[in-house]
Structure 1
């Protein structure tokens, strides 16, 4: 079950600025990185060449930034659930940043807060700031201002 459950759109509006909770931790494995490289065609050595990456700037392979971004789709349903709506539509993102690399073997999780809510025809548009944290790191791996439309 999600950390935060909303049963109507007004509850979302009333929660601007509220932290919604965190997802479970997820270990970033070399296998996950390799499968992402295969799916996207991005086989840059910093991600997939374990031996060469040991001598690189991070001492090991790192996850693709877009892999880290894509994990928001895994984490967000663990954090928030919206009930009693006809649908939720992923509308896009306003801003994505990658402050710190995710080294293979690291654990990451998502946290979320409602940054803004605006009324739209038939529902609301919600900006959720998703922060993907690295266990033990000072900086997050990724910060996403994700936009979702919830329709009544």
Structure 2
């Protein structure tokens, strides 16, 4: 059964997933961790609009957005996605790592808009670990929750490469 679009909201943050070594990542598959709340302020939305040159009124014009479909301005979907490192990177701690890097995304779904002033957080579930020449490629499902809202903002299948210390 797919959990896309279903709420994963938990009441409190959890401890990070601790993995003793890169080689042990496969043993951690199935574990889940939830992070702290983070507020998406209008100033951040404005800065993202400037950085990406996406100045659509739904993100920036509070007066017009008040009569729009969400009653206020909303964060860009790509802004929410760009916060994955801030929201999720502390949820998995792996020992003996020389380097960890973003390997990409297999799937991203924007399910619900994030209104300005909302608080969001990440829940990460480790879904796969594949040994590759450089180390281990870890697959995770990251869900960005919106405080007080049942439907998540986004769900992404992320990939990270963990390279062990020599």
TM class by shorter chain equals: over 0.9
Is the contact made by 1:117 and 1:126 (CA closer than 8 Å) also made in structure 2? yes
Where do residues 11-90 of structure 1 align in structure 2 (5 Å cutoff)?
11-19=24-32, 21-90=33-102
1:9 to 2:18 alignment: no
**Cα distance in 2, alignment partners of residues 123 and 10 from structure 1:** 8
Instruction: Quote the RMSD (CA, aligned, Å).
Output: 1.2
Deviation at 1:22, TM superposition (A): 1.6
Q: Which runs of 5+ in 1 are unaligned?
A: none
TM-score normalized with structure 1 length: 0.94
Instruction: Give 3-state SS (helix, strand or coil) of 1:14's partner.
Output: helix
TM-score normalized with structure 2 length: 0.86
Deviation at 1:89, TM superposition (A): 1.7
Q: Which runs of 5+ in 2 are unaligned?
A: 1-14
Number of equivalences: 150
Instruction: Give 3-state SS (helix, strand or coil) of 1:75's partner.
Output: helix
Deviation at 1:91, TM superposition (A): 0.8
Matched with 1:116 is 128
1:97 to 2:113 alignment: no
Matched with 1:135 is 147
Is the contact made by 1:23 and 1:75 (CA closer than 8 Å) also made in structure 2? yes
Is the contact made by 2:57 and 2:65 (CA closer than 8 Å) also made in structure 1? yes
Instruction: Give 3-state SS (helix, strand or coil) of 1:63's partner.
Output: coil
Deviation at 1:11, TM superposition (A): 2.7
Moved over 4 A (4+): none
1:83-109 CA distance string (max 9 Å, x none)? 212211211100001111001111100
1:117-145 CA distance string (max 9 Å, x none)? 11101311111111100001111101111
Deviation at 1:52, TM superposition (A): 0.4
